[in-house]
Amino acid sequence: MDKKLLIVANWKANKVEVTDWLQQFAALSAQMGDINDQVEVVVAAPTPLLFLLAASNITAAQDISEFSGGAYTGETTGEVLKEVDVSYCLIGHSERRKYFGENNGIVAKKFAQALAAGITPIVCAQSWEEIPEEVRAADTGAYYLMYEPFSAISTDGQYHAESGEAVDQVLLQWQAKLPPDVRLLYGGSVNPENVSDYVKIELVSGFVVGHASLDPNEFFSIINKCLSPKTFS
Ligand code: PGA
C-alpha cells in the first residue's frame, strides 16, 4: 500500500445502533491486526449520534453551518462540532444540493467555516462546475474532494455504480487543475463487489460509502478489499 486511504461511512438520515455497530466493527478490525497504518476510517453520523462516536476518534459530520454562531435556529456550527471531536465534514453532498437547495455559494461558506474550526472539509461535487471558485482558489490543499456522480448514488441499496474508467477520467481532469496536495475520493454505490475496481485507480485516496456502511460486516469487507496491495493497470 503506497498511501493511506480515507474511508468514510456516510450513514445519512438512517438510525444506526451505534454501540452495536462500533462493537462489531472493532471485533472485525481486531482480526486484521493494526489496519490504521493503511486506512483511516471515519463515520459521518446524524448529528445527535455524533457524541457516541467521539471516544472512538472516528467522528465526521454530514454537514456544517455556513455561520460561525449566533441566532440561526437549527444550525450546528464548526465550533459545536468540535465539542464532539469531529475531524472531517462532508460539504455540499449531492443530496444537500438536491433536497436543501445548497449551491456553490453556500458550499464555499461551509468550506471556510470547517477550515476555521480545524475540521477537514470533504467537498462533494458531481462535476468540475460544482467545485466553488473559492475552493479551487483556496490557499490550502488540506481538504478532500469527493467525486459523486448523482446517478451513482444508491437509493435504498439499489446500486448504480460508475465504471472505474469513467471515474479515472474525471479525477485525472480535476487533478490537472488543482494543487497537487488535494486528495480525491470517490463516492457512489461503492460496495464489496465493486470497490476493487476503484481502489486500483491511482488518484483515488479513499471512498465515501453510504448504504453499504450501515452494516458493519459489509462496510468492513469494503475496507478489507482496500488493504491488499494496489495493482494499478
Ligand atoms: P451510496 O451513497 O454509497 O449509498 O451510493 C454514497 C454517498 O451518497 O455518500
Ligand 1 atom with minimal separation from the 94 CA: 8
Answer yes or no: is pLDDT of 1 > 60: no
Quick check: is 148 catalytic? yes
Q: pLDDT value at position 233?
A: 35
109-150 pLDDT tens trace: 999 999 999 999 999 999 999 999 999 999 888 999 999 988
Ligand 1 centroid distance, CA of 213 (Å)? 9
Q: Which residue has the cell 448504504?
A: 211
| Of 66, 102, 130, 148, catalytic | 148
Percent with pLDDT over 70 in the chain: 97
Mean pLDDT computed over every residue of the chain: 93
For 122, the grid coordinates are 470533504
**Cα 63 to Cα 35: distance, rounded to the nearest angstrom:** 27
End-to-end CA distance of the chain: 15
Q: pLDDT value at position 2?
A: 56
Quick check: is 129 catalytic? no
| Of 93, 102, 130, 211, catalytic | 93
229 band by pLDDT with thresholds 50, 70 and 90: low
Q: pLDDT value at position 114?
A: 98
Q: Could you say which DSSP state residue 2 is in?
A: -
User: Which residues in 198-209 are b (16+ Cβ under 10 Å) and which e?
Assistant: bbebebbbbbbb
Answer yes or no: is pLDDT of 152 > 90: no
Answer yes or no: is pLDDT of 230 > 50: no
Q: pLDDT value at position 154?
A: 83
Tell me if residue 141 falls in helix, strand or coil: coil
Non-local (6+) Cβ contacts of 188 within 8 A are 147, 148, 149, 150, 151, 152, 153, 154, 160, 161, 162
Ligand 1 centroid distance, CA of 149 (Å)? 10
Does the global pTM surpass 0.75? yes
Q: What is the mean pLDDT of residues 170-182?
A: 94
Question: 26-40, 44-58, 166-180, 211-225: which range is least confident on average?
Answer: 26-40
CA 217-219-220 angle, to 5 degrees, is 65
46-101 pLDDT tens trace: 999 999 999 888 999 999 999 999 999 999 999 999 999 999 999 999 999 999 99
Q: Which of 47, 33, 44 is nearest to 210 (CA)?
A: 44
Helix (H) or strand (E) holding 97: helix 94-100
Report residues whose beta carbon is within 6 angstroms of any ligand 1 atom: 10, 148, 153-154, 187-190, 208-212
Q: pLDDT value at position 74?
A: 97
